Amino acid sequence: MADNLETESGSKNKPKAKTAAEPAAKARRRRLALYIVLGLLALAVLILALTRPSGEKVVGEISQPLIDKAGSNYSQQYYNYLAFSIARGKNVRSAESDTHIGFAGRTFAVNAGAAAVAANVLCWLPALINGTRITISLTVTAVCAGVFLSVFLALGKISRRKLLSRICSGYIFFFRGTPLLMQLFFIYYGLPQISPALAINNKFLAAFVTFTLNSAAYCAEIIRAAIQSIDKGQFEASRALGMSYGQTMRLVVIPQSIRRLIPPVANEFIMVLKDASLVSIIALTDLTFQTRNISSSSASALVYVPAMIIYLIITAIFTYIFNRMEKRFSIYT
């Protein structure tokens, strides 16, 4: 009888096992909370947008003596950020400026202190965003094209045909062994001197070609290592089934290799994203070029702070994407 009581009391004290529906219910609650927060933010932005002063009113707050003094050297900027707007009048020669923000039905002068720094960032932001689009476009297109080209380079390097293997090995050795900046200089400035027909006048295209060729060399080694990491028994079994070399690679080896490629290719992508700042040397208007241009025109190095933050945000977003892909497909998890 005592044993039965102990068994019953012990079973009551045991924690209940979580049902399969509990994680799904928590996920639904998190999504609902996220939707509520986003809805409230959207409502707040809508209210601020409806009460924002007109552009004419904000621009009209700029000091008239500054405009008269600047004359032909006067420059004016106006940016509409939906919830608020900002207007700046500037004497280009003396760098004297007057900045006003329209927010919640009122206008505020922001010419000193932390408010002036925030106003500067808001005025720099459109140019930085335009540069960010160039940086992301160059990185994504160059890495995708480089990965495609690297497949053929990797297969060529491990090919039994010695001439093909040596050509691919020489290509990989050259582009991995020389600085990317020198490759960019040679393709943009050097090729036209060899022959005018080889000139690439489009700066983005020249940068794309350079980064594609460079990324292909690094990705080729990644793919080669992934292919050779597949057990030789896979090759032997495929040949025993009557598959050709091409069928073995296409149907057996490469599909298994793809799962091993995600972490190193993700690392290569992040490296190219940061190396893309080199294209500012040929005056391609990427994020780094826009940052340097703003720094020289405003005589302020503070613009490098939001530029670095943008780089960190881009890196964090792509790192998150690749981490999700790795968890879903990689063999290392």
pLDDT in tens, 153-204: 998 998 888 899 999 999 999 999 999 999 999 999 999 999 888 889 899 9
Residue with tokens 């001439």: 163
Rounded to whole angstroms, the Cα distance separating 147 from 268 reads 10
Confidence of residue 220 (pLDDT cuts 50, 70, 90): very high
pLDDT of residue 15: 52
Domain positions in the chain are 55-111, 123-329
Class of the CATH-defined domain 123-329: mainly alpha
Q: Rounded to two decimals, what is the model's pTM?
A: 0.79
- Candidates 276, 272, 250, 267; CA nearest to 325 is 267
Q: What is the pLDDT of residues 87-122, one digit of tens each?
A: 888 888 877 888 888 888 888 888 888 888 888 888
What is the C-alpha separation between 218 and 268, in angstroms, rounded?
Answer: 8
- Model pLDDT for residues 3-13, shown as the tens digit of each residue: 554 555 555 55
Strand, helix or coil at 158? coil
Half-sphere exposure of 288 (CA within 13 A, CB side): 14
Q: Are 215 and 152 contacting, i.e. CB atoms less than 8 angstroms apart? A: no
User: Between these two residues, 127 and 18, which has the higher pLDDT value?
Assistant: 127
Q: At what angle do helices 254-275 and 113-157 cross, to 10 degrees?
A: 140
Residues 6+ apart with CB under 8 A from 123: 77, 79, 86, 88, 99
CA atoms within 13 A on the CB side of 165: 7
Q: Which of 53-67, 173-187, 242-256 has the lowest mean pLDDT?
A: 242-256
Ranges of beta strands (E only) in the chain are 74-80, 84-91, 97-103, 106-109
